[in-house]
Amino acid sequence: MSKEGQKSDLPVCSLCTEPAVIYQRHVDRHLCGTHFTADVELRVADIIKTQQMIVPRDRVAVALSGGKDSTALLLILNRLLQKWQNFQLIALTIDEGIAGYREETIQSAEQLTGQFGIEHHCISFSDLFGDTLDAFLKFRETQACSICGILRKKALVRGANQAGATKLATGHNLDDEAQSVLMNVFRGDLPRLVRNSGADSSGRFIPRIKPLSLISEKEIATYLVLKDAWRHLPDCPYTRYALRREVRSMLSGFEYRHPGTMLHLMESKKKIEHFYAGSVISEPIKSCRECGDPSSGELCQLCMLMQSLRRGHT
């Protein structure tokens, strides 16, 4: 077959005659590189404006791990906020202390922020909590994600406070969010299912926002390749212990066979949130009796965890 014939068999963009770089199965649409990047940025801008995630004079701290999701988030916000103006963008990187893994991702984060001249702060578990994650997880590897999640969340909040941030943006994508919905359903955890981390807290804590929550993992990877920002980095060695890994595999299969499954899960979560808005299922914010930080109980998750670690079990 001639080159001309081969070229004619390739999918073309549904909006122009350029070669397509991605097929969005849930809407049966092919997009070229130009239309695809514009589509992603427009959808992120729309969710930010619709949910009022960022307002004028905000100082937005991006939780920048150096991985693909947080890299895409920083790139997109940097483009959007330059156009919108009257906003500040900074980056926070957490060094958990995972040997053979975190060193490369921190280097990637430093290169990215340096390239765009973005203020960058790095916070370590050792400085905040007295030891590395590797040390905390000795003989507790199967609880890695739970322990790391509590420590990492606290580290991000403290880092954001120290940097004077008004919003904390994380790179959670559509796959991540849909997986979380399903995991909370499996656990029967209704309070966590309806919790809105971006809601107004009356100044008690910095709201967390997730501008990529309707952008799929595949779309993020494609966006990074088109922006020449894809990095081959190692995976966290503790992910093999995570329940999320099983849920991810199962949900990916459903999404492939039934395009739009993940978006439908997010729509269901939104309806449940609306149904329970203002009900007793939303726990009042208290103050931890140990550290004084906002908490749903007498002790915050970090203080309960540190007590357990000191006792030698979790």
Q: Which long-range contacts (C-beta less than 8 Å, at least 24 apart) are formed by 22-31? A: 22/218, 22/219, 22/222, 24/219, 25/259, 26/259, 26/260, 26/263
Q: Are residues 119 and 228 in the same domain?
A: yes
* Residue of 69, 113, 121 whose CA lies nearest to 93: 121
Stronger pLDDT, 195 or 137, i.e. the higher one: 137
Query: Do 171 and 129 share a domain, yes or no?
Result: yes
Are both 296 and 162 inside the same structural domain? no
Is residue 20, in this structure, part of any structural domain at all?
no
What is the Cα–Cα distance from 73 to 212, expressed in whole angstroms?
Answer: 7
What pLDDT does 278 receive? 60
Verify that 64 and 170 share a domain, yes or no.
Answer: yes
Residue 191 lies in a domain: yes
Q: Is the pLDDT of residue 282 over 80?
A: no
270 and 291 share one domain: no
Q: What is the pLDDT of residues 239-268, one digit of tens each?
A: 877 778 889 999 999 999 999 999 999 999
Domain assignment present for residue 312? The answer is: yes
Question: What average pLDDT score do residues 133-160 get?
Answer: 91
Note the pLDDT of residue 202: 52
End-to-end CA distance of the chain: 64
Q: Distance between CA 267 and CA 155 in Å, rounded?
A: 31
Average pLDDT over residues 162-179: 96
Q: Whose CA is closest to 161, among 194, 207, 225?
A: 207
3-state secondary structure of 97: coil
> Residues 266, 227: one domain?
yes
Domain assignment of residue 2, yes or no = no
Q: What is the tally of structural domains in the chain?
A: 2
Give the residue carrying structure tokens 């427009």. 42
Q: 173 in a domain, yes or no?
A: yes
Specify whether 116 is located in the same domain as 181.
yes
Residue 86 belongs to some domain of the structure: yes
Binned at pLDDT 50, 70 and 90, residue 60 comes out as very high
Residue 151 sits in a domain whose CATH number is 3.40.50.620
Helix (H, G, I), strand (E, B) or coil at 142: helix
Where do the H-state alpha helices sit in the chain?
3-9, 33-50, 68-84, 102-116, 125-129, 133-136, 144-162, 174-187, 190-194, 217-226, 243-257, 261-276, 301-311
DSSP reduced 3-state for 121: strand
Same domain for 168 and 248, yes or no, is: yes
For residue 42, being part of any structural domain is answered with: no
In-domain check, residue 79: yes
Report pLDDT for 204. Answer: 65
Is residue 199's pLDDT more than 70? no
- Residue 211 has phi, psi (to 5 degrees) of -65, -20
Do 177 and 164 share a domain, yes or no?
Answer: yes
At 1, is the pLDDT very low, low, confident or very high (cuts 50, 70, 90)? very low
**Above 70 in pLDDT, residue 75?**
yes
**pLDDT(190) > 50:** yes
pLDDT for position 196: 66
Instruction: With H, G, I as helix, E, B as strand and everything else as coil, classify residue 209.
Output: strand
Residues 266 and 290 in one domain: no
Residues 125 and 221 in one domain: yes
Which position has the higher pLDDT, 206 or 10?
206
| Model confidence pLDDT, tens digit, residues 85-120 | 889 999 999 999 998 888 888 999 999 999 999 999
301 and 263 part of one domain:
no
Range of the domain at 288: 283-314
Inform me whether the pLDDT recorded for 209 exceeds 80: yes
